[in-house]
Amino acid sequence: MPAKKNPLSPVKKAVVKRKVTRKKATVAKFPYVRVTLWAFVIAVLCSPFYYGYVLKTAVTTWRWITDIGGNPNYRTYTSFQIKIPAQYKIHGIDVSYAQGKINWDKVSKMEEDSVRISFAFIKATEGLLTVDPYFKRNWREAPKAGITCGAYHYFRPKKDGLWQARFFLQNVEIEKGDLPPVADIETLDKLPPQVMRKELAKFLKYIEQKTKVRPIIYTGISFYNDYLKGYFDGYTLWIAHYNRDKLNLTEDTPWQFWQHSETAHINGVNHVVDFDAFKGDSLAFRSLLVP
């Protein structure tokens, strides 16, 4: 017979050992990664390129807003960052040493809504001694990109007009298909207007005699009205008059080129550029070129 169990005898309980789960400390194996990321963010925020992008976006947006309700034929072209009169179909620029080294291939490929660079006036000389340091390069490279070119001389009335013409032709070889040479006249050099006109006439006459091409006269609208109007009416004019939807000259004024902006942004050029429009169509443009 089995022995009786004592009800008061203690019952041993099995001790259940708890597993203590310790959280593994997350150790940054690569502490320099976070530092590098923060350094990159700070560098971007402090970069002039970042602020240049922000500023460009803000300016473009503001110009788009200001164009609302404005003249649809004189609106801002975002790529060029200027307003362009829409009635003209042939556009160009004029450059000098001030624009530095130009990538003419990029210039020729830039286009927005059928506006592209078709021609360029390039500074060659000034006075009797100065040759633009970038003239030879620009004169060589721009035509390779398909851009029609013309050379201009910055005229100084205090210097002999005949000798300035000779100096210009010593440095510029004008060929078939070029735009006519240009006399850029913007100042009296503290001389009486009649002296300026006398020397300018000497320059123009000699250039035409030697090249068989009548030069173009470039000047500002005020200078033209004050000192040139009525004296050189047989010459094609290239007039500077900025930030207007039309050139404020009488219908009988013989202008063909209008420099309507001096702050254009052009691909391939590191500085702002003067922007020009040709008055006529492609047929009139071709008829103006050196035969």
pLDDT single digits (tens) 4-56: 444 444 545 555 555 545 544 444 555 667 777 777 767 666 766 555 555 45
74 pLDDT above the threshold of 70: yes
pLDDT of 156-201, one tens digit each? 999 999 999 999 999 999 999 999 999 999 999 999 999 999 999 9
Task: Look at residues 222, 158, 225 and name the one whose alpha carbon lies nearest to residue 189.
Answer: 158
Residue 154 in this model has a pLDDT that exceeds 90: yes
How much is the pLDDT for 49? Answer: 58
Same domain, 41 and 159: no
Q: What is the pLDDT of residue 56?
A: 52
Residues 45, 102 within the same domain: no
247 with 193, same domain: the answer is yes
pLDDT of residue 73 exceeding 70: yes
Asked if residue 16 belongs to a domain, the reply is no
Q: Does residue 50 share a domain with residue 123?
A: no
Structure tokens at 196: 């300026």
Could you list the residue range(s) of the whole structural domain that residue 247 is in?
Answer: 73-288
CATH code of 236's domain? 3.20.20.80
Residue 171 domain flag: yes
Asked if 284 and 110 count as a contact pair (C-beta separation under 8 A), the reply is: no
Question: Using CA atoms, how far apart are residues 106 and 258, in angstroms rounded to an integer?
Answer: 23
Domain count, the chain: 2
> How many Cα atoms are found within 13 Å in the side-chain-facing hemisphere of 22?
2
The verdict on residue 52 lying in a domain is yes
B/e letters for 175-214, b = 16+ CB within 10 Å, e = fewer, are eeebbbbbbbbebbeeeeeeebbebbebbbebbbeebebe
Whether 86 and 57 map to the same domain: the answer is: no
How far apart are alpha carbons 60 and 56 in whole angstroms? 6
Token digits of residue 67: 């164009």
What integer is the mean pLDDT of 119-145? 98
Structure tokens that stand for 157 in this block: 């009335």
Q: Average pLDDT for residues 217-228, to the nearest whole number?
A: 98
Question: Given this model, what pLDDT does residue 25 score?
Answer: 47
CA angle 271, 277, 281 (to 5 degrees): 145
Q: Which of 41, 69, 97 is the last residue of a domain?
A: 69
Percent of all residues in the chain with a pLDDT value above 70, rounded to a whole number: 79
Last residue of a domain, one of 69, 92, 116: 69
Percent of the chain, pLDDT > 90? 75
- Please indicate, yes or no, whether residues 58 and 182 belong to a single structural domain of this protein: no
In a domain, 234, yes or no: yes
Is residue 49 located within the same domain as residue 134?
no
Reported residue count of the chain is 291
Distance of CA 216 to the CA centre of its chain: 23
Mode of pairing for the β-strands spanning 90-95 and 111-112: unpaired
Look up 94 and say whether it is catalytic: yes
Both 245 and 128 in a single domain?
yes
Tokens representing residue 107 in the block: 């210039």
Give the pLDDT score at 1. 47
Question: Has 252 been annotated as catalytic?
Answer: no
Shared domain for 53 and 132, answered yes or no, is no
| pLDDT 10s digits, 247-273 | 999 989 999 999 999 999 999 999 999
Phi then psi for residue 249, to 5 deg, are -130, 155
DSSP 290: -
Q: Are residues 180 and 44 in the same domain?
A: no
CA atoms 257, 93, 186, 150: torsion sign:
negative
Catalytic residue among 112, 186, 226, 281: 186
Q: d(Cα 74, Cα 54) in Å, to the nearest integer?
A: 25
Q: Tell whether 64 and 85 lie within a shared domain.
A: no
Average pLDDT, the chain: 87
Q: How far apart are CA 63 and CA 235, in angstroms?
A: 37
The residue from 94, 184, 274, 276 that is catalytic is 94
In this structure, the answer to whether residues 173 and 103 fall within a common structural domain is yes
Q: What is the mean pLDDT of residues 192-213?
A: 98
